[in-house]
């Protein structure tokens, strides 16, 4: 499948954000918990897209306002078609080069803005990804020349783990 045609954000509706993750295990949910609770559903429609066949009940219970989409058994072409069909505005990769990643789909630019964050602290080397979220420790400015993504450096560590009650 060729690169997707350029698409702009649609400001007449809520922002659609896709979090692409290999699986729905609770450890991953613990790193996104704080962020998910901050999403205002009047402004952001958040969705988790999972690559592995996992039991989603616990995560769905934890994040009832977040849409949960299984990508289990789908090809990169099918992932691209799904993200385009869902009219995703921002695609956020949570796995980098880990198992179950969707980098081949993101290379085709199915969303106007594409970001990598959380589980991989180096450049993905994927020209279709615009930004990498990090900090000055994980992504020092002198390393920018080796990165395919622009750096979005936070003043604090880019991870926030919510412990079990």
CATH number at residue 23: 3.40.50.11380
What is the band of 128 on the pLDDT scale with cuts at 50, 70, 90? Answer: very high
Q: Is residue 87 a part of any domain in this protein?
A: yes
Q: Is residue 98 a part of any domain in this protein?
A: yes
Q: Is residue 131 a part of any domain in this protein?
A: yes
> What residues make up the domain containing 125?
15-154
Q: Is residue 7 a part of any domain in this protein?
A: no
Average pLDDT of span 136-153: 92
Could you give the percent of the chain with pLDDT greater than 90? 48
Q: Is residue 134 a part of any domain in this protein?
A: yes
Q: Is residue 3 a part of any domain in this protein?
A: no
> 20-24, 56-60, 121-125 — which one is most confidently predicted on average?
121-125
119 and 103 Cβ atoms separated by less than 8 Å: no
Domain count, the chain: 1
Q: Is residue 132 a part of any domain in this protein?
A: yes
Q: Is residue 162 a part of any domain in this protein?
A: no
Reported as half-sphere exposure (CB side, CA atoms, 13 A), residue 124 has a value of 32
C-alpha distance from residue 143 to each of 1, 37, 97, 137 (Å): 32, 33, 19, 11
């Amino acid at each position: 499948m060729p690169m997707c045609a350029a698409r702009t954000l649609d400001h007449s509706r809520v922002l659609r954000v896709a979090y692409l993750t290999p699986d729905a295990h609770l450890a991953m949910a613990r790193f996104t918990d704080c962020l998910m609770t901050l999403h205002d559903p009047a402004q952001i429609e958040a969705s988790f897209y999972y690559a592995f066949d996992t039991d989603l009940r616990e995560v769905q219970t934890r994040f009832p306002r977040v849409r949960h989409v299984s990508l289990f058994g789908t090809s990169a072409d099918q992932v691209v078609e799904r993200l385009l069909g869902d009219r995703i505005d921002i695609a956020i990769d949570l796995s980098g080069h880990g198992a179950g990643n969707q980098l081949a789909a993101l290379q085709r630019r199915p969303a106007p803005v594409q970001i990598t964050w959380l589980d991989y602290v180096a450049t993905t080397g994927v020209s279709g990804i615009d930004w990498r979220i990090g900090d000055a420790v994980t992504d020092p400015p002198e390393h920018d020349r080796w990165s395919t993504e622009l750096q979005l450096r936070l003043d604090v560590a880019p991870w926030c783990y919510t412990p079990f009650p």
